Amino acid sequence: MNAIISAPELVNALAGANPPVLLDVRWQLSTAGAAGAAPFDGRAEYAAGHLPGAVFVDLDRELASAPGGRGRHPMPDVEVFGAAMRRAGVSSGRPVVVYDGGQGWAAARAWWLLRWTGHPNVRVLDGGLPAWEAPLSTDVPVPAEGDFTPEPGATGGMGAANAAGMLDADGAAALARSGVLLDARAGERYRGEVEPIDPVGGHIPGAVSAPTTDNVAANGRFLPAEELRARFKALGAGEDGEVGVYCGSGVSGAHEVLALAVAGIPAALYVGSWSEWSSDPGRPVAVGPDPQ
């Protein structure tokens, strides 16, 4: 099953016998608060207009737990996540389509969590809300309670090429030596030239720079699968070896795991990512363009 769905395909799916549950996960990484500006409000954006029937999901509160030593967006409590999904109408026997404002990072986080906890049929709207050409709605639906019960590590029964794994800090460090660990952040953050959010700049020793922005075209939609396969192959990541991804806090990294899934390459996500790694003074830090 493809991990993404186009807007025309979604229109057809919504008209089918078993239409998907729609989850709106609009969110943006922003440092505006430091300058006194109001932070991005995904719920307000949702209220102003969303795909008809879509339910809003709060990334910070329902797809992550409170920031701390495990990173800025650590894994959510499984009971909180499960309750949020059931409230949104998610059931194991019904497909799910997730979208955000177009960047794809937040939608990919929800996609990854649902896959990792065992949902068998979840996709991301390629290009997000900007790709949707039909009218939006301001009606707030109240769906029937879903029956989805998260089973951590179940990977949705999606097969080896689509299996979602999870790494901790030690696992990421080991994979950087034994396989391929991709750093999905911007190149300047990987090299340690700038670090606007976390306490230390640089990267996990052995990790390869692979900015997630290079996985999409100018319109925000994913490159064709064959182009993504070629890109990841050039970075050392293929279908046969172990591949892992991290980013700043496990959000844009989920988007890179999604891109790898489109390319048919299984990959694990280090959820704590650089925000966890850099907060531990005992962890080594590499700087510059060289992985080591």
**Who contacts 137 (Cβ-Cβ below 8 Å, separation ≥6)?**
49, 50, 51, 52, 53, 54
Of 105, 124, 219, residue with least CA distance to 162: 124
- In angstroms, what CA-CA distances link 264 with 3, 148, 199, 207, 221? 10, 26, 35, 21, 17
Q: How many residues does the chain have?
A: 292
Report whether 264 contacts 257 (CB < 8 A): no
How far apart (Å, rounded) are the C-alpha atoms in residues 160 and 187? Answer: 30
148-193 per-position pLDDT tens digit = 999 988 765 444 334 459 999 999 999 999 999 999 999 999 999 9
Q: In what order do the strands lie in the sheet with 96-99?
A: 4-5, 122-125, 96-99, 21-24, 55-56
Query: 10-19: which pairs have CB atoms within 8 A and are 24 or more residues apart?
Result: 10/97, 10/125, 10/132, 11/134, 13/95, 13/97, 14/53, 18/94, 18/95, 19/95
CA atoms of 61 and 59, how far apart (whole Å)? 6
Contact indicator for 260, 224 with CB cutoff of 8 Å: no
Lowest mean pLDDT among 21-30, 74-83, 246-255: 21-30
Beta strands in 35-151 (DSSP E): 55-56, 96-99, 122-125
Active site residues: 247
Which of 113, 131, 120 minimizes the C-alpha distance to 219? 131
One-letter amino acid identity for 112? Answer: W
Question: Tokens 């750093």 belong to which residue?
Answer: 183
Q: Where are the beta strands (DSSP E) in the chain?
A: 4-5, 21-24, 55-56, 96-99, 122-125, 164-167, 180-183, 208-209, 243-246, 267-270
- With beta carbons less than 8 A apart as the criterion, state whether 11 and 125 touch: no
| pLDDT for residue 81 | 98
- Looking at every residue in the chain, the average pLDDT score rounds to 93
pLDDT of the residue at 130: 96
The dihedral built from the CA positions of residue 128, 258, 40 and 51, taken in this order, carries a sign that is positive
Please give the Cα distance from 12 to 135 (Å, whole number).
15
Give the list of residues 6+ apart from residue 275 with CB closer than 8 angstroms, or none: 67, 71, 72, 73, 197, 198, 248, 249
The token pair at 117 is: 């906890």
State the pTM of this model: 0.94
pLDDT band at 238 (very low <50, low <70, confident <90, very high): confident
What confidence tens digit (pLDDT) does each residue in 261-282 have? 999 999 999 999 999 999 999 9
